[in-house]
Structure 1
Amino acid sequence: MVIGSDTVFERNTASAAYIPPTTVFDDYPSIEFASISIGGLVPYHPLNNYDINFTGGTPTNVYRVTYYGNGNNGGEAPPSQLYAAGVTVTVSDEGTLTLTDHDFLGWNTSSTATDAEYEATDTFPMPARDVDLYAVWKATPPTLYTVTYHGNGHSAGDPHPSAQYAAGTPVTVLDENTLERTDHEFLGWHTDPTSETALYSPTGMFNMPANDVDLHAIWKAKAPVLYTVTYHGNGHSAGDAPASSQHAAGDTVTVSGKNTLVRDGYEFVGWHTDPASATALYGPGGTFPMPANDVDLYAIWKAIDPSGPQDPDPKDPEKPGSDPSGKTPTSSKTGSYAKMARTGDEMSILPFAAAACASLLVGGGAYAMVRRRNH
């Protein structure tokens, strides 16, 4: 007879030049083959309409186990197989099935299952019905790449911790967190630590490449804060104090001289931050480190001894002072110098004093003689 694709036989005798694998015939020992061309049959495979002579027995229905890729994007599922009810089924592996970025876990009778009911080589008794087995896939954990933030010369604080992203994931760039750098402002981030401009600003975005990314803080030097040194005449009678100057904190300041400042009856001795000081804190050419604040320097004056040489008053050259000829003046009794009102020539007052005394003596004698005559 011609055997149907779903027909098997029980309790039949068989004789042939070639016997298929014994597992086929353990339960079916009495099949008589009319042809030897059916060699290589697998257990319970349909007999593909080969002519087989048999001496008796009743054909038994078989049921199909079918494998499904269930979302695969590559390969083929294993071929379906036929089994009689109660026969032990050995579950196949995934064959050539693949699904990108997923691992094959096994098989389940539900297409939506996330766990495998059967793994390759597991067994189960064939029920009296068809069985559909669906591949169960689990997403492969993506390879993660790291974004690391670097302070790049910062003087204080910390950047945000590094973070990991899968390739292709959008990355939102973070801010500087607590990073600081003295006298610098934060511009953003760059993959090149020597760049002077930022490639990414905080909240900027880029797609994560398939490699780690190092972001370096980019800093711009701030214009320094300048503080002013101001000079004050502090009671001067003429002239001008030196011009003020500006310096950054920490700079070395060289102290100026008095410029054209003068004060009647005083000599300049230096500068002090206290206008009431009797001594100088800094002399011309002295230095000090500029503090982070303005500095006021006041001229310090010392009274000149009136019995010693004096500088002429620049506002009134007629006032006594040092003899322009270089002579040292004496007291009024012994030789002070004066100027003639009309000519301005210098002359000693001693001759005038002598003449006045002589006149007094002569006048006094004449008065005495007149008086004697009258008596």
Structure 2
Amino acid sequence: MKATKSSKSTRAFLWQRVALVIALSLLSVALAPPLAQTRAKAEAPDGGLGLEEPSVSETRPERSPAGAGPARAVTFLSNNGQGQSVSVEETAGNLALPLPGELGFTPPAGAQFVGWSEDASGASNVYAAHVQYPDNAAHNAVLESDVTLYAVWLLPGASDAGQSDACFYIRTDGVIPFSPHQSPATLFVPSDAGTQLKGSLRRPVAISNNIPLLKSNLAAVPSDEEIAAVCEAHKVPFDPETQEVVWYAALLRTAPGGQWNVNGVVKSKTAHLLLYYPNGGDGNVPNARSYEPGARVSVNTHVTPARVGHEFLGWSTDPAATEPEYPTIGTQTMTMPGVTTALYAVWRDTTPHPSLQVEKVLVGGPSNGEYYTLGEPVSYRVTVRNTGDVALGPVTLADPLADMPAIERLEPGASHVETYRHETTAEDVAAGQVENTVTATAKVVGHGSLAVDPASASVTVRTGELPQAYTYVVYAPAPQNGGTLSRDYTIIEMRSAEGLESVTATPGEGYRFVGWYKDDELVGTDETLDAEKAKAHLNRGRAVYGPTMFVAKFEPEEATEPEQPDEPETPDEPETPGQPEQPETPSQPEQPDVPTEPNQPATPAEPEKPVQSEKPAAPTTPAGSGAAGGVAASDETPSGVAASETNRHQSASSGAWPSALPGASDARSRSAKLAQTSDALLPSFGIGASVVFVAAAAGIVVVLCRDRFSKRR
């Protein structure tokens, strides 16, 4: 039993050892790749910085639109150069780095500009001009805080060689990436710590994307034999007779074995490089490659940079081009020239560029041609223009001398004009001038966070006091003999009207005072024109009073009374339509009045009175009946007719007709009857009807006489 237990224990122990070995083996396999990568980093060209370059991506990261982010201050310092620091406010999250000269910086004597860095020594990442900052391998970096960038200069001469030792590495795929970038360490040789290519830098400055500048900073480089040996050891083709190494980047090294890494690529000695530059965009550009002269090269329009507020159009050999030689549409090819060639990104600006301009000018000038005096108005005209490419609104104009309304909207290229006046005050005169500034501010329509720089304009005018001067005021009566005035004229001071006095008008005999007038305008109806009222009507220029005449008007008193009743005489005009009276002019019946004398036989009507037999002699003396005015009425006279009426008819008809006229007796008989009839009817018809009746009777008598006369002829 004991033997059996011992054998079983031994077997269990063996199995445990086997399991432990297997576990350790599996663990070593799992840990092998990370360990290898750690060792490779220590020997990699990037010096352990972690700047491994991935393949250039065609996928663009999402970016915030221009003006959408918070404002960040970016301050540029000349860093041993000459020039004051410059700060800019950036809201887009990125900005294209300028050249020092664009900021007014002057380099140190004999120095060359390398780029901008957050490290004043230039040992960390250095960004070339006209490259977007910040940037990273993924090209999605943005400004997260205020930052200071130093100009990095490559000074002449050499520094301490011990601080500038470098390890040189050769990239085996033949391409040159644009920094910042990351590339796998396996692309570089030598890859082990045993064999290294050694050299040194003149100045410990990080340089990339500038091959000629890096070449000028290399103090010592590996020989062709050393390079050939490394390439042969790593089975990388290299023929020093036909090929050469182009060193393109110097980066700070953190791994042991040296302070700097210098990376290079092998190319044919007869080939030339085709380089791509972002020209203000980020570093997502195609890798540079070498081509033989005359070769047909396909221009890469698929890998494109990005730039905030811009649209990529293509590539051009001119960095200032606005139209690309090789647009993004279709396949673009070029013939490789016999020199190194650079292609620059061409951009179309899509960012709104608000801009405002204001102008203020003086309208007219002082009345004396030199300066404005107290109370004299100063006229201004303000013009505000939208000189940008986006609508602005509201636009406000601030001026201490005037309140101007806000402009609701101002389109690109449009302008708005405001005019106003300022009356010169005593303070202005004491100051000797009026200095005034107008300031225009605006917002961008549709881009609330986009700032517009305010615009202002100023105008200064002289002020002063006029020398003492005088003018005159004249008073005159109209008409001249209509009355008298207490004074004929007054001399007054031109600015204050001092010396102006009251004047009284006294109407002459037969005249009355109407009023005081100036230029046919009534000033007052009181006979006394007081000084205050006269001052209010004085002729006035911009700042002084001018010569003035006041007229006292008089009018005749008698002319005033009949003028009022004359107006009712107008209704007399209706007499004109009274044309019916015109027929009276031709009233022909009155012409027979000459023969109408036969009416006188009406008196002989008395012969009918022979009814009274006792008075036969009465008809023989009809004319004498008038003498016997007291004759009583006959019994034949109709009742109600007075004797006087009978006598009236008798006297009216007596003596008119000749007694010897043939037929006179008949006529007289008819006339007498008619007279008796009229005597009876007249009292009952009244006076008007009686007149008509008598006229009718006379007409009948005329007709009878005419008949009688015609018969005699």
TM-score for both structures, normalised by structure 1: 0.32
Instruction: Answer with 1 or 2: which has the greater Rg.
Output: 2
TM-score (norm 2): 0.20
Asked which structure has the greater RCO (Cα within 8 Å, sep 6+), the reply is 1
